[in-house]
Amino acid sequence: MNAKKNKSSSKKPEYNILFVSSELHPLAKTGGLGDVSSSLPKALKTLKQDIRILIPAYPFAIQKAKSIKYIATINLPDSGFPGHLGLPVQSGKSVAIIETKLPGSQVKVWMVESELYNRSGTPYSDDDNNEWEDNDFRFALLNYIAVEIAMGRTTLKWQPDIVHGNDWQTGLIGALLEDEHSQSRKRPATVFTIHNMAHMGIYSRERFDALELKSHLWNHHELEFHDDFSFIKGGLVFSDRVNTVSPTYAEEIQTEEFGYGLSGLLTYRNERLSGILNGIDMKEWNPAKDPHINKNYSKKTLSDKQNNKIALQKHFNLPGKKNTLLLGLVARLVYQKGIDLLLENMEEILQLPVQIAILGSGDLELECRLRRWVTKYPEKIQIQLGYDEALSHLIEAGSDAFLMPSRFEPCGLNQLYSLRYGTIPIVRETGGLADTVTHASKENLTNQTATGIVFLESKGSTILDAINLTSLLYQNNTVWKKLMVNAMKQKFSWKESAKQYLRLYTQAIKDRDEYKKHTPVF
Ligand code: ADP
Ligand code: GLC
């Protein structure tokens, strides 16, 4: 291991960190995991950490990378699951590592090249949005390669002090490294970040066997989960430290409602569980410099925001009304985001003096239901289906308010982008939304702390009430302007959160060194 540094305890530690993820903006992104996988490593690099990001070499990622070079080949042993990954014979049971730089930074990205990733679509599904059936094998390979690098069994001449995994796609790393540890080999410390408990990577016993995972892991204290097994449990059970992306979500997942059957395990591990709020990339999401929007603006030139509203109305073919409250929504159209709740009272919402501009894709039924409203009230609601990075920036800049009626939200980035753009977030009080938006109550408006509209219940009628309140506030220019300025004053840079991750890494190393095998008793 390269514990070269950290001589004086007063100095900031400098670690070698392997950051493993299935998404990385701008190379491969479906949601906030992509943003965080790019902006957190950049912030850690600024704190002088030697960080490398490991992702699959999806063809669309290779295409977007500025320049690439092949830097190593990693051989897969014949025994154990890597030998059975179904790789074509010509790939010779080995994979290549391709190096590139994260665009706009000096952060090194290592991409694992394999036939298993050489497909079009998204990181998880084909062009028609059907999940790949072999995602367990695809991501097990990523985990396995992370372990080979972690244990120094490659020609890369670099070894991490910390392996930082993200979400279920990296959950086996903890379990595999634990196995190294039990064979008296010193392993790096492990940190696992939960971005979303709703995705757990659950597969059958048959797949467990096909992956040739060690049979002793098949018990309900370890990988087994109700007669299947779960990738995310590997991360939760075996990592030295577990964290999630907001303090409130760290509490919520220890309850039955949000824990998806693992609240007991999370409560058992709660001394090693924490919440660190995500930051945002202040360069990419900066209304004063954003190249994707019609007119740049800041707190001092707030009236220029109007130009973006006009451009947005034009883009969506909505009537160019300057004084009508324009609500934006950018999201994966899925259960989590509460779109069905928004639809419950759509008739009443559209009777209010509002327009709605939506960008998203996901659940076909939700897409259809939204489209029906577009057909009925084309002058009030419009939707663009699909993924469009530039338009997502224009929606943040051009909308007056931003809708996030999420049932749960581990952190949420769009409300943070909205605050920075002076676009008032309308959010449910859950997870990171609760931690970052302050409700426009009378008291908060008076003491100038209000930054958005926060509602409690996950119900269509509550969302209607929240939009009603927004509409009333919008009609009072002075109040609305104050809200916008307060929102824009909020600071969500990565600087502080990255420092918290550094402290987490230090704790993880300490925990690894003081390690005693424990059996969860949940
Ligand atoms: P989640 O990760 O649950 O999807 P977040 O709010 O953390 O939610 O992050 C979502 C990210 O994905 C944001 O950067 C948002 O702008 C982006 N995004 C989501 N859907 C789209 C889309 N259809 N087009 C462009 N960007 C999108
Ligand atoms: C997940 C969550 C979202 C969070 C993002 C990045 O996708 O749904 O709330 O902001 O990860 O951590």
pLDDT of residue 78: 65
Pocket test for ligand 2, best of 23, 40, 413 (most atoms within 8 A of CB): 413
Q: Is the pLDDT of residue 418 over 90?
A: yes
What stretches of 377-451 show up as alpha helix (H) in DSSP? 389-398, 414-420, 431-436, 442-446
Q: What is the mean pLDDT of residues 204-223?
A: 93
> 275: helix, coil or strand?
strand
Using pLDDT thresholds of 50, 70 and 90, give the confidence band for residue 1. Answer: low
pLDDT of residue 210: 85
Q: Percent of the chain, pLDDT > 90?
A: 88
Q: Which domains does the chain have, with CATH numbers?
A: 16-278+496-513 (3.40.50.2000), 302-491 (3.40.50.2000)
pLDDT of residue 89: 43
pLDDT of residue 195: 98
Which DSSP symbol is given to 283?
T
What stretches of 27-103 show up as alpha helix (H) in DSSP? 32-46, 59-64
Token pair in block for residue 320: 């160019």
Residues 105, 485: Cα–Cα separation, whole Å: 31
Q: How many whole angstroms from 130 Cα to the centroid of ligand 2? A: 21
Q: How many whole angstroms from 330 Cα to the centroid of ligand 1? A: 6
Q: Is the pLDDT of residue 7 over 50?
A: no
Asked if 296 and 290 count as a contact pair (C-beta separation under 8 A), the reply is yes
Residue nearest to atom 7 of ligand 2 (CA): 32
Q: Give which of 281, 389, 274, 390 is closest to 41, Cα–Cα.
A: 281
Q: Is the pLDDT of residue 80 over 90?
A: no
Q: How many whole angstroms from 257 Cα to the centroid of ligand 2? A: 18
Q: How many whole angstroms from 70 Cα to the centroid of ligand 2? A: 32
Task: Encode pLDDT of 136-153 as tens digits.
Answer: 999 999 999 999 999 999
Residues 193, 241: Cα–Cα separation, whole Å: 9
Q: Percent of the chain, pLDDT > 70?
A: 94
Q: What is the mean pLDDT of residues 146-162?
A: 96
Q: Give which of 360, 291, 356 is closest to 326, Cα–Cα.
A: 356
Using pLDDT thresholds of 50, 70 and 90, give the confidence band for residue 75. Answer: confident
Q: How many whole angstroms from 25 Cα to the centroid of ligand 2? A: 13
Task: Encode pLDDT of 285-337 as tens digits.
Answer: 999 999 999 999 999 999 999 999 999 999 999 999 999 999 999 999 999 99
Residue 392 Cβ contacting ligand 1 at under 6 Å: yes
pLDDT of residue 450: 98
pLDDT of residue 129: 87
Vertex 105, ends 102 and 109: CA angle to 5°? 30
| 317 backbone φψ class: left, alpha, beta (φ>0; ψ -120 to 50) | left
Q: How many whole angstroms from 494 Cα to the centroid of ligand 2? A: 15
Asked if 411 and 32 count as a contact pair (C-beta separation under 8 A), the reply is yes
Residues 177, 163: Cα–Cα separation, whole Å: 10
Q: Is the pLDDT of residue 86 over 80?
A: no
Q: What is the mean pLDDT of residues 401-422?
A: 98
Using pLDDT thresholds of 50, 70 and 90, give the confidence band for residue 274. Answer: very high
Residue 188 Cβ contacting ligand 1 at under 6 Å: no
pLDDT of residue 237: 97
Residue 112 Cβ contacting ligand 1 at under 6 Å: no
Residue nearest to atom 5 of ligand 2 (CA): 32
Q: What is the mean pLDDT of residues 105-122?
A: 95
Q: How many whole angstroms from 252 Cα to the centroid of ligand 2? A: 14
Q: Is the pLDDT of residue 456 over 80?
A: yes
Q: What is the mean pLDDT of residues 423-445?
A: 98
Residue 294 Cβ contacting ligand 2 at under 6 Å: no
Question: Mean pLDDT in the chain?
Answer: 93
pLDDT of residue 268: 97
Task: Encode pLDDT of 18-36 as tens digits.
Answer: 999 999 999 999 999 999 9
pLDDT of residue 516: 58
Residue nearest to atom 24 of ligand 1 (CA): 387
Pocket test for ligand 2, best of 411, 427, 430 (most atoms within 8 A of CB): 411
Q: Which helix (H) or strand (E) holds 103?
A: none
Which DSSP symbol is given to 38?
H
Residue nearest to atom 20 of ligand 1 (CA): 331
Q: What is the mean pLDDT of residues 487-515?
A: 95
Task: Encode pLDDT of 118-132 as tens digits.
Answer: 999 999 999 988 999
pLDDT of residue 87: 53
Pocket test for ligand 2, best of 23, 40, 249, 278 (most atoms within 8 A of CB): 278
Using pLDDT thresholds of 50, 70 and 90, give the confidence band for residue 348. Answer: very high
Pocket test for ligand 2, best of 33, 253, 501 (most atoms within 8 A of CB): 33
Asked if 52 and 116 count as a contact pair (C-beta separation under 8 A), the reply is no
Asked if 158 and 129 count as a contact pair (C-beta separation under 8 A), the reply is no
Q: How many whole angstroms from 226 Cα to the centroid of ligand 1? A: 32
pLDDT of residue 10: 55
Pocket test for ligand 1, best of 284, 387, 399 (most atoms within 8 A of CB): 387
Residue 413 Cβ contacting ligand 2 at under 6 Å: yes
The structure's pTM equals 0.95
Amino acid letter, 22? S
Asked if 275 and 247 count as a contact pair (C-beta separation under 8 A), the reply is yes
